Every structure is written in C-alpha cells, then in structure tokens.
Amino acid sequence: MLKRLASSLVVASLFSVGVSGPLLAQDPEQETGQEPVVLGGRVEVPSAGYALTVPDDWVAIYPSADDAAAITDALSGIDPELATTLEAALAGGVGFSFLAFGTTDETGFRDNCNVIDYPTEGATLGLALATDTAALASMGEALVGEPVATIIELPAGESARLDYALEYPGVAAAFSAYYFTDGTTFHLLTCTGTERPDDGWRSIAETFEFLAAGVPPMPEGEATAAP
C-alpha cells in the first residue's frame, strides 16, 4: 500500500515534466456527455466521481491507454512530437483520469495538471503525505530543497498539499500536489510549471468537488467556467 501511494506521486511528477506542449485530444469511448475537447471551464469526470475547473485558456483531455491511438491521431496534425510522447505515456497505463495543459511560457514549457485516482487502502491524508515526502528522497539530486507538506481545508473538505521542486538537465519544475479523498479513494491532483504561482495552483484545487452518486453527466456543450 505504501509503495502504491509513493509511486502515484512519482508517476505524476515525471509525466508532468516529460509531457508539455500544445494539446488537443479526444477519447471517443468516454461516455461523459461532454465535448471531447474542453477549452477551459468546469470539467466533470463522472467515471472518477469528481469535477474541477481549469482556466479559460487551458485545454483538458480524458486520457485512456485503450484510446492512445485516437489521442495520437487528434494530436498528430497539431504537434507530432507531443503526439508521440503522449501516446507512449498513455500506453504505459499510468491511470490518469484527467490531464490539463496551460499556455506555453518563455521556456517552451506549459503549466499542466493531472489527476491519478487510487484506493486509500485505509491510509489517512497524513500517512499519504508522509509516504510521498519520503518517496521524493528517492529522486536524489533531482530534488531541489525540502518538500513542504501541510494538511489544509478546501471546499471539498479536509485535504493535503505537498510542494516540491525537481531539476533535470534542461528543465526545472515546481510542483504542488493536492490530495482529496472520500474515504475509499485518493484523488491526487498534481500541478507543475517552471515557476510555482503565488497560490501554488490552489485556485484550481479549490474548484475540486465530489460528484453526487447517481448524478448524470452534464449535457454536451453545457460545460461552463466558474464565476
């Protein structure tokens, strides 16, 4: 169980650094009732039981290893290099339920967020933080400074936040990971960029909400930005 907790954060971190660029993709098998391409605003992920809101100039997709080919096809005419990278990442079955990419900064990197969902197996938020903080040490010299772990209160309830930074040849990135749980599942929202914004992407984390059981997905075309 502890290994599962730690590996989720490591996967999210490495994916965030390794994949950033212009994004447009679709998952034709995703029966959410939404447009396959979401250009900012509130995004519902009924299959994972949550919703969140991304900035208006961000683009979100619903990734799936089974639909890697469809995603690659959608990207190939826009950014062939990213299409190849994303196909390889999704083919590994990393288990993201959501990906979102912002605008490119002066370094060519895009702020991006991803969500991984995995069972708590009885772990508390405190244990998840302690396990993942320890796991970051396994990244050796790539870890810059000391991670900062805190238990926080967000509109979705008691949550946790872990701030850290990683540096690899040619790229340095700051991360803020947010942990949400309904008691049985952890939803790990990891956001990254070359610089951490003043709020550490908390403005996105604050929009995370659990969808009520049995509530149907939002009708197609009705996704709206948060006020």
Greater confidence, 122 or 88?
122
Give the tens place of pLDDT for each residue, 28-54.
344 444 333 456 788 888 889 999 999
For residue 191, being part of any structural domain is answered with yes
What gap in Å lies between CA 137 and CA 93, rounded to an integer? 25
Q: Of 78, 82, 77, which is closest to residue 63 (Cα–Cα)?
A: 82
Cα torsion angle, 35, 38, 40, 42, sign: positive
Q: What are phi and psi of 5, to 5 degrees?
A: -60, -50
Percent of the chain with pLDDT over 70: 59
Quick check: is 196 in a domain?
A: yes
Q: What is residue 157's three-state secondary structure? A: strand
Q: Tally the domains of the chain.
A: 1
Q: What is the mean pLDDT of residues 53-78?
A: 68
CATH of the domain at 105: 3.40.1000.10
Whether 91 shows a pLDDT value over 60: the answer reads yes
Asked whether residue 221 is domain-assigned, the answer is no
Domain interval for residue 22: 2-210
Give the model's pLDDT for residue 82: 57
The answer as to whether 217 is a domain residue is no
Per-residue model confidence (pLDDT) at position 88? 66
The model's pTM is 0.77
Instruction: Report yes or no on 201 lying in a domain.
Output: yes
* Separation of alpha carbons 59 and 56, rounded Å: 8
Ramachandran angles phi, psi of 205, nearest 5° = -60, -35
Q: Does the residue 52 lie in any domain?
A: yes
User: Within a domain: residue 226?
Assistant: no
- Give per-residue pLDDT as tens, 97-140: 888 877 666 676 778 899 999 999 999 999 999 999 998 988 88
pLDDT at residue 53 in the model: 93
Under the banding of pLDDT at 50, 70 and 90, the label for residue 83 is low
Q: What is the pLDDT of residue 154?
A: 97
Q: Is residue 227 part of a domain?
A: no
CA dist 103 and 148 (Å) reads: 26
Give the per-residue pLDDT at 1: 41
Window from 16-30, 59-73, 89-103 with minimum mean pLDDT: 16-30
For 50-83, the DSSP string reads EEEEEEEEEEEE---GGGHHHHHHHHHTT-HHHH
What is the Cβ-side half-sphere exposure of residue 52, based on CA atoms within 13 angstroms? 31
